[in-house]
Amino acid sequence: MPKCVHELHGQFIQERQIHKYHYTNKAGLAGILTNCSLWLMDSGGLTDRSEGRLILQESKKKLKEINNNLFQIYETKIAPNLENFFSCSFSSYGNLLSQWRGYGDIAIGFDWEILKNQTPRNIKDKNGEHPVTSGLCFTNCKYIDPSIEKDIEPFVNSVVDRIVNTFEKSDTEIHEIQYCALTIGAITTSIKHIGFFEEKEHRIVHYCWDCNPINVINTYRSRIEYKFDVESIKSIVIGPCENQEEEVFLVKGLLERLGGKYNNIEIYCSMIPFIKKN
For residue 12, what pLDDT is reported?
52
Give the integer Cα–Cα distance in Å for 16 and 91: 9
Between 83 and 200, the more confident residue is 200
Q: Is the pLDDT of residue 13 over 70?
A: no
* CA–CA gap between residue 67 and residue 63 (Å, rounded): 6
| Structural domain includes residue 154 | yes
Residue 214 Cα to chain centre, angstroms:
18
Question: Could you tell me if residue 230 is inside a domain?
Answer: yes
Average pLDDT score over the chain: 85
Distance CA 227, CA 131 (A): 10
Q: Which of the four pLDDT bands, split at 50, 70 and 90, describes residue 7?
A: very low
Interval 67-89: pLDDT, tens: 998 899 888 888 877 777 888 99
Please report which confidence band the pLDDT of residue 250 belongs to, taking 50, 70 and 90 as the band edges: very high
- Is residue 223 within 8 Å of 254, Cβ to Cβ? no
Predicted local confidence at residue 242, as pLDDT:
87
Q: What does the pLDDT read at residue 84?
A: 77
Q: pLDDT per residue over 179-188, tens digit each?
A: 888 888 888 8
- In the chain, what percentage of residues exceed pLDDT 90? 44
Specify if 274 maps to a domain.
Answer: no
User: Is 171 part of any domain?
Assistant: yes
Residue-wise pLDDT tens digits, 97-123: 999 988 999 999 999 999 999 988 999
Least confident of 3-7, 129-133, 173-177, 236-240: 3-7
* Residue 263 domain flag: yes
Domain that holds residue 64: 3-269
* pLDDT, position 48: 55
pLDDT digits (tens, 9 = 90+) for 206-223: 887 677 899 988 888 899
pLDDT per position as a tens digit, 16-65? 568 999 999 999 999 999 999 999 988 765 555 566 677 888 888 999 99
- Please give the pLDDT value at position 14: 52
Q: Give the Cα separation of 196 and 128 in Å (integer).
A: 35
Give the pTM: 0.86
The total number of structural domains in the chain stands at 1
Domain assignment present for 244: yes
Residue 191 lies in a domain: yes
CA distance 179 to 187: 12
- Give 2 or 104, the one with higher predicted confidence: 104
Contact at 8 Å (CB) between 94 and 19? Answer: yes
Beta strands in 81-240 (DSSP E): 85-91, 106-111, 122-125, 128-131, 136-140, 142-144, 191-193, 201-207, 214-215, 222-227, 233-238
Predicted local confidence at residue 9, as pLDDT: 47
